[in-house]
Structure 1
Amino acid sequence: MSYRTALSEVLTSVIEPSAGVTGGEGRFPRGSVTALGRAGLLGLTVSAEFGGGGRGLPEAVEVVARIARVCPATAAVLQSHYTAVAVIESHGSPWVRGEIAAGRHLSSLALAETAEGYVEGAESAGGVGGQELEAQLLVPRSVAARTGDVVALRARKHQVVAAGEADSYVWSSRPLAVPDGMSLWLVPAHAPDLFVPARAGGAGPRGSATSTVFADPVLVPVDAMLGGDGGGLDTVLRRVLPWLLELRAAAGTGVLRPPVVDMSHGVARRPAESLASS
């Protein structure tokens, strides 16, 4: 079965019937996420080597755009998941990639450290331009401190989609040892000392569980680092931003459109005016 056929079946049988409850009552679309996982759509962009669909950003954009027309909350969850998976595909363990491919693992981004957020806060903040978006993602304030094989991450991450619902977060911090850049981590959502408020306080679509995640601190093994110490900046520029901007545009409009590419910084991205209007 093609991913388009699988998506059509999930849209008709699960997402559309539950969209009213998701948006009206602000209930996280757990049934829709489970159905997307069983249909292979959570693992759409995972390498076929690990059992995934082996697809890329264009297919992810198509899926998010089609879902956004029916259920904005589910589209927002997939938007963050697919962007997180783009990082995990580059630096994650085979086990996690296999779990995502099997539809048993939902990931999300925990990168923004200002209250305006970077995914769904644009409307409430009057529009987030490209430079402001990059500033939120590229200048981490979170502290990481290593003791032996354990790292303590201390932060307050804003506008985390699927907060308290995802299985893991792609998390940013200042580097452990190098003076510049950032480090990325895969933080298990069940890790002790992660706190998510009972009432979602983010600006995302109702039902997307967009909220703040507190770590004061959260302890992770040193091998939870995604890539090298300080190397997260390059990953955000080359993986997170291109995926996030395209998927955000798809979720915001529900319409497929060709990417507008600006290579002036060596990475594909949408211009700021496209961001503000999406």
Structure 2
Amino acid sequence: MSYRSVLAHILSSTIEPSAEQTSARERFPRASVVALGEAGLLGLTVSAHLGGGGRGLPEAAEVVTEVARICPATGAVLRSHYAAVALIEAYGGPWVRRRVADGGHLSTLALTDAGADGEPGSDGPHPASFASGTGDVAALHARKHNVVGAGEADSYVWSAPPVDGGDRPDLWLVPADAPGLFVPARPNGTGPRGSGASTVCADPVLVPASARLGRDGDRRDVLGTVLAWLAELPAARPAVPAPVRAKALA
């Protein structure tokens, strides 16, 4: 069965019936994410030899477009996931790539620092992010703003100033259960209602040095990869009511 056929089934059976409640109650679309994972769509862009769909950016953009048209929250979650997986696929280890391919791992992006004057909904000014390293452990200090799926994802692709003082940020794969990670109880971001967009705090988060995505000298390529995917993956738009969609297709 093609990924388009699988997607059409999930849209009608799971995503569309729950879209209104996802928005009205600001409830993270967990059932939709699970269905997408079980159907292989979370792993759509992972290499086929690891069990993924072996597809690329055009197919991912198509899936995000169709999902966001019906449920903006699920579309936003999927957009951030696919952009994060582009880096995991390029620079991550085979274990996490297989987990994504199996549908059991949702990732997201934590790239935007809260400003020195605080972000909307914050409790005051906070320092800029920084990173420090000791041996095989890195300590990441930051408040990341508007992280989609905060507290719901299994990992975060996390930007931080380089430990060695370079001019390009490092990107790290931070597990959701990493020591020092904190997510507020109530989402406070500006993403689509139900997308779980919120601040994620690291005070600090401790990760192994091996969690950095890419090698020395790769910073431009690593950052360029995620920016290229974000530029092509459509942002979520307001949902179109079912009667209007039916009329447009008539």
Per the normalisation by structure 1, the TM-score is 0.79
Deviation, structure 1 residue 228: 1.9
Q: Which of 201, 210, 224 is the matching residue for 2:197? A: 210
Report the alpha carbon displacement of residue 241 of structure 1 after superposing the two structures with TM: 1.4
| 1:205 counterpart letter in structure 2 | P
- Which of residues 138, 144, 147 is equivalent to 1:151? 138
**SS at 1:252 equivalent:** coil
The match for 2:219 is 232
* One-letter amino acid of the counterpart of residue 89, structure 2: E
* Percent identical: 63
Structure 2: stretches of 5+ with no match in the other structure: 121-127, 241-250
CA distance in 2, matches of 1:7, 1:179: 43
Contact map agreement 1:158 1:202 (CA 8 A) in 2: yes
Q: Which residue of 1 aligns with 2:104?
A: 104
In structure 1, the partner of 2:237 is 252
**1:53·1:101 contact (CA, 8 Å) conserved in 2?**
yes
Please give the alpha-carbon distance, in whole angstroms, between the structure 1 residues aligned to 2:202 and 2:80. 20
- How is 1:1-278 mapped onto 2 (pairs within 5 angstroms)? 1-114=1-114, 141-229=128-216, 231-237=218-224, 239-249=225-235, 251-252=236-237
Which residue of the partner structure matches residue 265 of structure 1?
Answer: none
Query: Aligned in 2, Cα 1:229/1:155: closer, same or farther, shift over 3 Å?
Result: farther
Tell me the C-alpha RMSD between the 2 structures. 1.9
SS at match of 1:248: coil
Contact 2:182 2:201 in 1 (8 A): yes
- Deviation for aligned residue 1:68: 1.1
Structure 2: distance between partners of 1:165 and 1:254: 22
In the alignment, is the contact (CA less than 8 A) between 1:183 and 1:229 conserved in 2? no
How many residues align structurally?
A: 230
CA 1:51–1:254 in structure 2 vs 1: closer, same or farther (change >3 Å)? farther
SS of 1:198's equivalent in the other structure is coil
Shift in Å at residue 86 of structure 1? Answer: 0.6
CA distance in 2: counterparts of 1:148 and 1:229, whole angstroms = 16
CA distance in 2, matches of 1:92, 1:53: 17
Per-residue CA distance 1:48-93 (angstroms, 9 max, x = gap): 1111000011101110111111100000000000000011111001
Paired with 1:254 and 1:88, the residues of 2 have a C-alpha distance of 30
C-alpha distance in 2 between matches for 1:233 and 1:173: 14
Report the Cα distance in structure 2 between the residues aligned to 1:17 and 1:42, rounded to whole angstroms. 20
What is the CA deviation profile of residues 168-227 of structure 1, one whole-angstrom value per residue up to 9, with x for unaligned ones?
000111112253222111000111211111110000011000001000101001111101
> Which one-letter code corresponds to 2:237 in the other structure?
G
- SS class of match (2:237): helix
- In 1, the alpha carbon distance for the partners of 2:38 and 2:182 equals 29
Displacement, 1:252? 3.4
1:231–1:14: structure 2 CA closer, same or farther, 3 Å change rule?
same
Q: Larger deviation: 142-151 or 5-14?
A: 142-151
1:209 and 1:40 map into 2 onto residues whose CA distance is 22
Shift of 1:236: 1.6
Cα contact 2:65–2:234 (8 A) shared by 1: no
| C-alpha separation in 2, matches of 1:10 and 1:206 | 20
